């Protein structure tokens, strides 16, 4: 039977990435050029800088992915590219590279939603079983997504303000930790004790929405009040307390939704899925619910990459999705 070989391209934020995926689940290559070092000194991603780096890197990254996979453009059945959401100038670099290749080599083009990509990262590890629930936690998104079949995404709840990763990065900044702060808070939290009282944003009884801005403010106020009183707060204890609050709500709502919708699987997705505390807490919670399979991707598939875009693109291609050469970048695209 004929193989399906997809070239995936991802440039929605600060990683320039390309990957080659065979038959939807096999990673032939997965190249990620991170820009973190360039953005670090500004304390966050600078959109103009991100676009410029993508322009410098995109051709090299695609060539490297093709070389490592040992394939030529004649072998590529389709090019899958992140069309949104993300930074418009960053997205455009990937979209234009994909369009140029699709046009010049006469290869079908498939636009992929970034969050669909994060969810499909799991398919590179485990077969998907429907209905499934995905907890998507990244720098830009916090969502509970129900999937009843391939390509169908129903958002049960989402953040009303900051994304989980954004809250991690902002709290890290108040503790003078480098960008991106998530991994630093995670590491500190393992060392500290959650002894500081911080709020949990459960919101309305029946809501699967999230909110993290109140928690972030509570952390800032705690530090401010302590310094006014001449008290010192251990950063590791504050990190542990913050992390406990985030995780309690994320895990609590995920378990509740998973039971309510009778899902077969729960998939963790997005950059914050790399969080050790969250991974452990989810494992603990689902240990007691054997009828639901918990799938947690390896760290390199959690943060932005193109293997996940190739994985999602493979399914969309098989479902018949094709994008026109007029494909644009859609910064606020809904899933």
Site residues for ligand KG4 per CB under 6 A: 13, 138-140, 165, 168-169, 180-183, 186, 270-272, 274-275, 303-304
Enumerate the β-bridge partners of residue 146. 133, 154
Residue 182 marked ligand-binding: yes
Between 271 and 310, name the residue whose CB sits nearer to ligand KG4.
271
The reply to whether omega before 56 is within 30° of 0 (cis) is no
Between 240 and 329, name the residue whose CB sits nearer to Zn ion.
329
Enumerate the β-bridge partners of residue 81. 9, 111
Residue 225 marked ligand-binding: no
Between 69 and 185, name the residue whose CB sits nearer to ligand KG4.
185
Between 22 and 114, name the residue whose CB sits nearer to ligand KG4.
114
Closest to 295 (Cα-Cα) out of 185, 147, 156:
147
Enumerate the β-bridge partners of residue 18. 9, 31
CB-closest chain residue to ligand KG4? 271
Between 24 and 84, name the residue whose CB sits nearer to ligand KG4.
84
Residue 114 marked ligand-binding: yes
Nearest distance from residue 131's CB to ligand KG4, in Å? 24
Nearest distance from residue 117's CB to ligand KG4, in Å? 9
Residue 140 marked ligand-binding: yes
Nearest distance from residue 132's CB to ligand KG4, in Å? 19
Binding partner of 180, given Zn ion, ligand KG4, none, CB within 5-8 angstroms per partner class:
ligand KG4
- Give all strands (DSSP E) within 66-148, no chain letters: 78-84, 109-113, 132-137, 142-147
Nearest distance from residue 26's CB to Zn ion, in Å? 22
Binding partner of 305, given ligand KG4, Zn ion, none, CB within 5-8 angstroms per partner class:
none
- What is 206-275 written as a DSSP string? T---B--HHHHHHHHHHHHHHHHTT----HHHHHHHHHHHHHHHHHHHHHHHHHHTT-SEEEEESGGGG-
Residue 304 marked ligand-binding: yes
- Report residue 144 as tokens: 């509970």
At 43, give phi and psi (nearest 5°): 75, 10
- What is 19-72 written as a DSSP string? EEEETTTEEEEEEEEE-HHHHHTTTS--HHHHHHHHHHHHHHHHHHHHHHHT--
Residue 71 marked ligand-binding: no
What lies within 8 Å, CB to CB, of 231 at 6+ separation is: none
Residues in contact with Zn ion by the rule CB under 5 A? 138, 304
Between 35 and 138, name the residue whose CB sits nearer to Zn ion.
138
Residue 186 marked ligand-binding: yes
Binding partner of 186, given ligand KG4, Zn ion, none, CB within 5-8 angstroms per partner class:
ligand KG4
Binding residues for substrate: 136-140, 169, 182, 186, 275
């Amino acid at each position: 039977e004929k193989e399906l070989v997809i070239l995936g391209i991802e440039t929605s934020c600060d990683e320039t990435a390309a990957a080659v995926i065979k038959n939807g689940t096999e990673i032939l290559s997965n190249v990620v050029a991170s820009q973190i070092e360039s953005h670090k000194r500004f304390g966050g991603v600078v959109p103009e800088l991100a676009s410029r780096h993508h322009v410098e890197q995109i051709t090299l990254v695609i060539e490297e992915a093709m070389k490592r996979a040992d394939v030529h453009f004649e072998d590529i059945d389709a090019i899958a590219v992140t069309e949104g959401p993300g930074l418009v100038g960053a997205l455009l670099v990937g979209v234009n590279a994909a369009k140029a290749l699709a046009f010049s080599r006469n290869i079908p083009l498939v636009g992929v939603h970034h969050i669909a990509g994060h969810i499909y990262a799991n398919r590179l590890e485990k077969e998907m079983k429907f209905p499934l629930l995905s907890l998507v936690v990244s720098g830009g998104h916090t969502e509970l997504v129900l999937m009843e079949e391939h390509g169908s995404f129903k958002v049960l709840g989402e953040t009303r303000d900051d994304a989980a990763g954004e809250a991690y990065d902002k709290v890290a900044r108040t503790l003078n930790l480098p960008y991106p702060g998530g991994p630093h808070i995670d590491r500190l939290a393992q060392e500290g004790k959650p002894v500081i009282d911080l709020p949990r944003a459960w919101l309305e009884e029946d809501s699967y929405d999230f909110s993290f801005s109140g928690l972030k403010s509570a952390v800032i106020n705690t530090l401010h009040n302590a310094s006014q009183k001449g008290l010192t707060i251990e950063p590791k204890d504050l990190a542990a307390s913050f992390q406990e609050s985030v995780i309690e709500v994320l895990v609590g709502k995920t378990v509740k939704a998973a039971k309510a919708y009778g899902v077969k699987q729960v998939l963790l997705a997005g950059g914050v899925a790399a969080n050790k505390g969250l991974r452990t807490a989810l494992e603990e919670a689902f240990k007691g619910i054997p009828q639901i399979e918990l799938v947690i991707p390896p760290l390199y598939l959690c943060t932005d990459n193109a293997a996940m875009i190739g994985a999602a693109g493979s399914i969309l291609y098989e479902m018949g999705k094709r994008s026109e050469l007029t494909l644009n970048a859609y910064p606020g695209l809904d899933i």
